[in-house]
Amino acid sequence: MTMLVVANWKMHGTRTMAETLLESIAKPAADVVNAGGTVVICPPFTLIDRLAQGFGNAAFGWGGQDCHVNTQGAHTGDVAAAMLKDCGAGWVILGHSERRADHAETNAGIATKVKAAHGAGLRIILCVGETLAERESGNAEAIVLSQLAAAYQPYVDAVAYEPVWAIGTGKVAQITDIEAMHRSIRGAIAPSTQVLYGGSVKAANAKEILATHGVDGVLVGGASLQQNEFNAILHAALSQQI
Answer yes or no whether residue 168 interacts with ligand 13P by CB under 6 A: yes
Distance CA(59)–CA(227), nearest Å, equals: 16
Answer yes or no whether residue 221 interacts with ligand 13P by CB under 6 A: yes
Catalytic residue among 98, 130, 162, 229: 162
Task: Name the segment binding ligand 13P (CB under 6 A); options: 99-107, 144-152, 180-188, 197-205.
Answer: 197-205
Answer yes or no whether residue 199 interacts with ligand 13P by CB under 6 A: yes
Sign of the dihedral through C-alpha 169, 63, 4, 100:
positive
Distance CA(222)–CA(202), nearest Å, equals: 8
Smaller CB separation from ligand 13P, 195 or 220: 220
Task: Determine which residue in the list 80, 116, 219, 237 makes contact with ligand 13P, applying CB under 6 A.
Answer: 219
Q: How far is the CB of 98 from ligand 13P (least distance, A)?
A: 7
> Regarding beta strands 123-128 and 158-161, do their DSSP bridges make them parallel or antiparallel, or are they unpaired?
parallel
Restricting to residues 51-110, name those near ligand 13P by CB under 6 A: 96
Task: Determine which residue in the list 80, 89, 117, 220 makes contact with ligand 13P, applying CB under 6 A.
Answer: 220
Please, what is the Cα angle at 44 between 85 and 146, to 5 degrees?
A: 80
| H-helix or E-strand spanning residue 64 | strand 60-64
Phi, psi of 127 (to 5 degrees): -95, 140
Write the single-letter amino acid at 92.
V
Task: Determine which residue in the list 201, 206, 236, 238 makes contact with ligand 13P, applying CB under 6 A.
Answer: 201
Answer yes or no whether residue 222 interacts with ligand 13P by CB under 6 A: yes
Smaller CB separation from ligand 13P, 29 or 82: 29
Phi, psi of 146 (to 5 degrees): -70, -35
Task: Assess whether 162 carries a catalytic annotation.
Answer: yes
Smaller CB separation from ligand 13P, 152 or 165: 165
Distance CA(167)–CA(221), nearest Å, equals: 8
Q: How far is the CB of 19 from ligand 13P (least distance, A)?
A: 22
Distance CA(98)–CA(71), nearest Å, equals: 23
Answer yes or no whether residue 217 interacts with ligand 13P by CB under 6 A: no
Phi-psi region of 104 (alpha: psi -120 to 50; beta: other; left: phi over 0): left
Any idea which residues carry the catalytic annotation?
96, 162
For ligand 13P, the binding residues (CB under 6 A) are: 8, 96, 162, 167-168, 198-201, 219-223
